[in-house]
């Protein structure tokens, strides 16, 4: 012993002057207590009481198995008799499970997709004060009423089905003619490919074409056979066309019995053989050049205003000549556009024309020459000179002399 210290076994057991004890190994049969300390090796104790923080990298059970799952205790080692969870910031209790299984929740419950609650073994208390229960009860009442209404509707439908079955059996018992295949009749419409009857009465009869063609047809007997006597047909061409004719070649009389037939608009007899109609002139065939017909058109133009026989004959001839000169006039207009220049017409308006003193005039004439000489055979109507007396001036008579005869 030196100066209040102990050294036994050449340093195997020492106590220094400040009370620090060192022992290479040892066994304490009583109680070991200290304010603080550090154990560098393994600490083994049959029992103990730690009154502070115990920190370790792992905790083992009695069988030496780790009780940790990551940084937390595994759930297999949690055997709780009640659980209380508090708000970290306020300390208020938010979730409590008592030792008897009573759960108290102070907050909201959010259930994720696919979550379910089984109420099969749950007893309910104070349901009358729960708004959800009130709504569910109302929904149940309405569902019961709807079920009752549905049952009534089912009964009514079943009765209707039975009546429909009865009607079907009744209709099926009535033998229909074998030729009825596509006839339809309702309260306002009859649809059938053929409807045959003695007489039809009504204020208005309409034939409505189902597509671009439709017709009204009249059939009648002649001798011992039935013929297609009369047709009014419509078809869609470059214009709407209406044809009135007799397919079997029957005679058609319009008017008669002291009646008067009025025609309005334009009546074209150019492709018809007309008997017994005095038009004040005859139809003659003439072979004319394009240039001659163009001159005739200019001679007829001032006569078109007449409302007499001369005016009628002039209008008919003007139309015939104009139709024959359609291509000629189109070509002539294109040459005027090609060689012409802006000039003034008789009323002082600017137009495109070819001046006689223009250097392009001869080119215009040379290109027009072959077309001027082309000939057409046309059917023109002629009137009598007596029809022109008192209607036309002498100058006008000379201008259309080709249209007049004795």
Q: What is the pLDDT of residues 41-83, one digit of tens each?
A: 666 666 777 777 777 778 888 888 888 888 888 877 777 778 8
> Is 28 a residue whose pLDDT tops 60?
yes
pLDDT band at 6 (very low <50, low <70, confident <90, very high): confident
Task: Give the per-residue pLDDT at 270.
Answer: 66
Domain boundaries, the chain: 281-405
> Is 1 a residue whose pLDDT tops 60?
no
CA distance readout (Å), 360 to 175, 333, 337:
90, 15, 11
> Is 130 a residue whose pLDDT tops 80?
no
Task: Give the per-residue pLDDT at 166.
Answer: 83
Share of the chain above pLDDT 90, in %: 17
CA–CA distance, 68 with 78 (Å, rounded to integer): 11
Closest C-alpha among 265, 266, 209 to residue 233: 209
User: What pLDDT, in 10s, does the model give residues 256-306?
Assistant: 766 777 777 777 766 777 666 655 557 888 899 999 999 999 999 999 998
Q: Is 272 left (phi over 0), alpha (psi -120 to 50) or beta?
A: beta
Tokens of 123: 């007893």
CA–CA distance, 2 with 396 (Å, rounded to integer): 172
Task: Give the per-residue pLDDT at 319.
Answer: 93
User: What pLDDT, in 10s, does the model give residues 138-179?
Assistant: 888 898 898 999 999 999 999 999 888 887 777 666 555 666
User: What pLDDT, in 10s, does the model give residues 326-370?
Assistant: 999 999 999 999 998 888 888 888 888 888 888 899 999 999 999
Other beta carbons within 10 Å of 215: 14
CA distance readout (Å), 81 to 11, 47, 158, 365, 403:
52, 23, 63, 125, 132
Mean per-residue pLDDT, 214-235: 88
Chain position carrying tokens 């080692």: 77
Q: Model-level pTM?
A: 0.34
pLDDT band at 14 (very low <50, low <70, confident <90, very high): confident
Q: Mean pLDDT, the chain, as a whole number? A: 82
DSSP assignments along 317-346, one per residue: HHHHHHHHTHHHHHHHHHHHHHH-EEEE-T
H or E segment to which residue 140 belongs = helix 131-173
């Amino acid at each position: 012993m030196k100066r209040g210290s102990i050294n036994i076994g050449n340093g195997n057991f020492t106590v220094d002057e400040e009370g620090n004890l060192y022992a290479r190994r040892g066994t304490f049969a009583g109680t070991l207590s200290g304010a603080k300390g550090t154990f560098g090796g393994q600490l083994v104790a049959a029992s103990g009481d730690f009154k502070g923080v115990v920190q370790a990298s792992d905790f083992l059970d009695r069988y030496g198995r780790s009780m940790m799952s990551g940084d937390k205790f595994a759930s297999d080692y949690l055997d709780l008799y009640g659980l209380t969870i508090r708000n970290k910031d306020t300390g208020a209790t938010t979730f409590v499970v008592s030792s008897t299984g009573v759960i108290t929740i102070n907050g909201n419950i959010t259930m994720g997709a696919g979550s379910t609650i089984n109420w099969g073994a749950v007893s309910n208390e104070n349901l009358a004060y729960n708004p959800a229960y009130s709504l569910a009860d109302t929904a149940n009442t309405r569902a019961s009423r709807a079920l009752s209404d549905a049952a009534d509707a089912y009964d009514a439908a079943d009765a209707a089905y039975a009546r429909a079955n009865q009607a079907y059996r009744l209709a099926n018992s009535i033998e229909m003619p074998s030729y009825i295949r596509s006839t339809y009749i309702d309260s306002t419409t009859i649809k059938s490919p053929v409807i045959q009857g003695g007489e039809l009465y009504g204020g208005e009869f309409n034939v409505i074409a189902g597509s671009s063609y439709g017709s009204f047809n009249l059939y009648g007997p002649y001798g011992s056979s039935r013929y297609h006597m009369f047709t009014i047909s419509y078809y869609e061409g470059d214009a709407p066309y209406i044809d009135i004719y007799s397919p079997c070649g029957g005679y058609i009389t319009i008017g008669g019995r002291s009646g008067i037939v009025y025609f309005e608009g334009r009546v074209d007899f150019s492709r018809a053989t007309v008997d017994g109609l005095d038009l004040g002139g005859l139809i003659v065939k003439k072979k004319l050049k394009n240039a001659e017909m163009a001159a005739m058109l200019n001679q007829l133009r001032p006569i078109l205003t007449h409302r007499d026989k001369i005016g009628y004959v002039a209008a008919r001839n003007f139309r015939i000549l104009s139709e024959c000169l359609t291509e000629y006039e189109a070509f002539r207009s294109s040459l005027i556009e090609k060689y012409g220049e802006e000039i003034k017409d008789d009323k002082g308006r600017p137009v495109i024309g070819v001046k006689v003193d223009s250097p392009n005039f001869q080119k215009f004439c040379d290109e027009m020459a072959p077309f001027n000489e082309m000939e057409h055979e046309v059917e023109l109507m002629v009137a009598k000179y007596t029809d022109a007396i008192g209607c036309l001036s002498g100058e006008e008579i000379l201008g259309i002399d080709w249209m007049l005869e004795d």
